[in-house]
Structure 1
Amino acid sequence: MNPTILPAESGIRTRPEDVRTACQLWWAVIGLAIVRLALGAVDGFGNRHDTAKNFYDQLKTEQGEFSLSQMEFAVSIIEVLVVTYGLAVATGAVAVVHQLGLGRLWARAIAEVGAVVLVLGAIGSLFGLGTATGAPAMLVGAAVILQAVLACGAVFLCRRSESAAYFRSNGH
């Protein structure tokens, strides 16, 4: 294995190749998350009329003061908020992966929790893949599964003995 030399900083040894590869896998997971977010936004905005109609039909008996156009506007606002939240999570993930590359033990723990969440999402997507309608929904499901596989590979690489020693020596 060829270790990558990091800038001289107290307590930091050379980064093992496994950690470098794990970071690359996490970068791919983040990239797929952004693709998923974009596909979900396209699908959500494309189906906003149907979604708004469903909400309108459910709420018109309880709250008759909403019009269908107001409900469509509300669904559009929700879609914008989902995209904004998704980009904020992706930004946080970028920061965690950067710290993971520096050997921070807490970053490895956060990455492992993220991998568990991705695997649970992939299991749900795997069982719901047959019910997906349209190309964007199918691509989102495939991206979820691929993200989980990449994240598990990254967790495995970060748990190998040389990587574990690197994280212990830089544990901050």
Structure 2
Amino acid sequence: MNQWSPPGHPEPANTPPDVHTACQLWWAVIGLGVVRLIAGAVDRFLNRRQLAKDLFDQVRAQQPEASLAQVELVVSVMQVLMVVFGLALAVGALAVVHQLRRGRLWARTLLDVAAAVLVFGAIGTMIGLGGIQGVVAMVTGAVAILQAVLAGGALFLCRRSESDTFFRTNAR
């Protein structure tokens, strides 16, 4: 500790290059997630009539008074909420990545869990690649696999010895 720093407030350690690189990889993962979100929203928007008709067929059995216009409105509202929720999740993930750069151990733990989810999701995507139809589905599948690779690389970089020491000294 520096003799000029007040007691109880240690100077922050310099961020190792591996942690900087891991943060950049997480930014790319989040950016690709936004690309997936937008591609999925565009695909659902283009197919909203068919989606509403399919949902209407299911709803009509339980609520015969529901109209197709009401179901189309529900589908449109659901699509908007999905985009808003996805963007909010991306902003939250960016905040966690910012805390990762500051050396917060809890942020590394959260992103480790996120990396595991992305990797398992990519494995499921690779298994189902044979049944994918359409350009949007192919693009979102490829982006999911790329996200998993980048997240795995970020996880590896945050677990290296210099990075681990950095997180242990800045744990709060």
Show the counterpart of 1:49.
Answer: 49
Q: Report the AA paired with residue 138 of structure 2.
A: M
Distance 1:63 1:21 in 2: 54
- Shift of residue 65, structure 1, vs aligned partner: 1.2
Distance 1:45 1:129 in 2: 23
- Shift of residue 107, structure 1, vs aligned partner: 0.5
Identity %: 58
Show the counterpart of 2:87.
Answer: 87
Distance 1:45 1:125 in 2: 22
Show the counterpart of 2:36.
Answer: 36
Deviation track 1:33-56 (CA, whole Å, cap 9, x = no partner) reads 110110010011111111111111
Q: Secondary structure at the match of 2:103?
A: coil
- Shift of residue 29, structure 1, vs aligned partner: 0.2
Distance 1:73 1:124 in 2: 32
Contact 1:25 1:153 in 2 (8 A): yes
Q: Report the AA paired with residue 116 of structure 1.
A: A
Pairs within 5 Å for 1:61-80 = 61-80=61-80
Show the counterpart of 2:126.
Answer: 126
Distance 2:76 2:125 in 1: 24
- Shift of residue 117, structure 1, vs aligned partner: 1.2
Gaps of 5+ in 2: 1-8
Show the counterpart of 1:96.
Answer: 96
- Shift of residue 59, structure 1, vs aligned partner: 2.0
Q: Secondary structure at the match of 1:61?
A: helix
Contact 1:96 1:107 in 2 (8 A): yes
Show the counterpart of 1:107.
Answer: 107
Distance 1:70 1:47 in 2: 17
Question: Bigger radius of gyration, 1 or 2?
Answer: 2
Q: Secondary structure at the match of 2:61?
A: coil
Deviation track 1:71-120 (CA, whole Å, cap 9, x = no partner) reads 11111110111101101110110000001011110100000011111112
Distance 1:61 1:168 in 2: 58
Contact 1:11 1:170 in 2 (8 A): no
Q: Report the AA paired with residue 92 of structure 1.
A: G
Q: Secondary structure at the match of 2:10?
A: coil
Distance 1:124 1:78 in 2: 25
Number of residues of Structure 1 aligned to a counterpart in Structure 2:
164
- Shift of residue 68, structure 1, vs aligned partner: 1.6
Show the counterpart of 1:165.
Answer: 165
Q: Secondary structure at the match of 2:126?
A: helix
- Shift of residue 70, structure 1, vs aligned partner: 1.6
Q: Report the AA paired with residue 21 of structure 1.
A: T
